Chains A and B, each alone.
Chain A
């Protein structure tokens, strides 16, 4: 596909132009932090953000998503994708979407997710500012971001837009863009390579080594009790994670008491009742009763269980869990380095 250049002063005009025909979701400021939200004007766009509170996964898999509607006669579904341009996604979040894309397609295709995914054009953007807890420079370096349609890189004087798919190509109208020179493309490449060095190397291990050692640590109860010691079972690490996709399903009624909806909500495997089953007499059988077993399960999934399937860790290094953790114990850098340093 093509490579284009747009002047810094033209960028907002381009975004506002796109906004006339389609919904645009991009990073905007929310108090001191950033979130992905629908742009009301291009001026809200903050491509200089470090990390958003929630990953862009929420566009396809919202925290609360109606999956069925019912009345006394029938049950119908609610898949209703909205054509969208998702603008300004950092490469680590593109990798997160690659993983959820795979997991939502695997075995049973979940079109409640995939329909919106297919209706969306993703424009990735270069990282201009590194979040304090980010460690994407240290994890899954061999996994390349795939699922974006174009890549926007800030270079001096403007931006280079490299299109990766026909969907991305359609965004680059030549009234505002011109073809990029080879120097400009090389410059963009240098910018994206240089930013990797700004995120210091914190875990000097190969992800396969990590997967093996983490899996072998399963039976080391003392280790996991220690690692999970202050866990409040709040599930904050799950909620902010780009690769967590567990959910709960609940029904609710409309005021007429004959119609209603089935809705899925994000769920968190760290919470106490996540694996509990109600047995006879209302007793619960909780298959992960202890908080350390839930904490361990999350790391087993991210580092080991999903590793072979995804060809790398189910972690993008975004650092959101580390920043969100109430007890400041969820940081994968701390957990993985501890495990790697322990003789099992």
Chain B
């Protein structure tokens, strides 16, 4: 929370963050590395969000795409979809973005620690889970078997090329990727994410599972997890909603009686099971 000059805590007052690096992984996505202008570090847990804004345009809720275990900068990936995200993605190194947060309830690291972990990420859902992936890789001894499923619509939509190269080569992570539609260059898996479950036999019923992706993906992944006998309380779902204020007031992101922005965006599937509006 930020205090204004008159001494009131103002939940809407953003902090300035300087853009120190950018890249364009796809035509519609931009990857930013940011640093707070006052050089303090952002204290967050994987799965938390930021309200990222450009003054004069507005704010958009964006998951943090890097791990708190890495340096005093942090990453976000923004997809150009509307007015605000277009404005954000027109900013470059040396410019500022205005952020509020970290906000929301991220991954309960204590629930994951000591267990096998499977992350299922679809499309831009890889961005918020990248925070968790890096975290686990940086503290590899604290976790059991680590598997990552990643799917995109087509090869051009695949994000984090360097990361994926590293994951493919690494013994620390069992990485599988797929695309819905292949192109001439593609030699890997073709098919939606749930098809990856048939390609690896190493998901134990005690695995902690994290799912992040488009709403249409959840249902089919959950069916596969049910077949594997993974209980609902061990499945964590990162949801997307219109988290306009980020502080549980404006009402846009409500899922039944919960606010996605403060009660989530990460929920256990056991919790979501009780919420008719979640999936």
Contact = CB atoms under 8 A, between A and B. Distances in A.
Interface in B199-245: 214-215, 240-242, 244-245
B252 interface: yes
For chain B, the bracket of interface size reads 35 or more
B51 to A, nearest CB: 10
A79 B10 contact: yes
B277 interface: yes
A280 B156 CA distance: 14
B250 A249 contact: yes
B58 A111 contact: no
B178 interface: no
Given A68-B13, A275-B241, A305 B257 contact: yes
A142 interface: no
A77 to B, nearest CB: 4
A246 B252 contact: yes
Given A67-B12, A109-B11, A219-B276, A251 B249 contact: no
B251 interface: yes
A246 B81 CA distance: 24
Interface string A312-337: 00000000000000000000000000
B81 A260 contact: no
Interface stretch (B1-9, B69-77, B107-115, B134-142): B1-9
Contact of B249 (A108, A252, A260): A108
Interface of A: 67-68, 70, 75-77, 79, 103-104, 106-112, 115, 218-219, 245-253, 260, 262, 264, 267, 269, 274-282, 285, 287-288, 293, 297, 300-301, 304-306
Contacts, number: 129
B1 A246 contact: no
Interface of B: 1, 4-6, 8-14, 16, 28, 55-59, 79, 81-82, 98, 123-124, 214-215, 240-242, 244-245, 247-257, 262, 276-277
Contacts of B249: 103-104, 108, 110, 245, 247
B142 to A, nearest CB: 30
Contact of B9 (A104, A109, A281, A282): A109
A271 B44 CA distance: 34
23 contacts: A70-B55, A75-B13, A75-B98, A77-B5, A79-B4, A107-B247, A108-B11, A108-B247, A110-B249, A246-B251, A247-B245, A247-B251, A248-B252, A260-B55, A264-B250, A274-B251, A275-B252, A277-B240, A280-B79, A280-B123, A282-B82, A287-B241, A305-B257
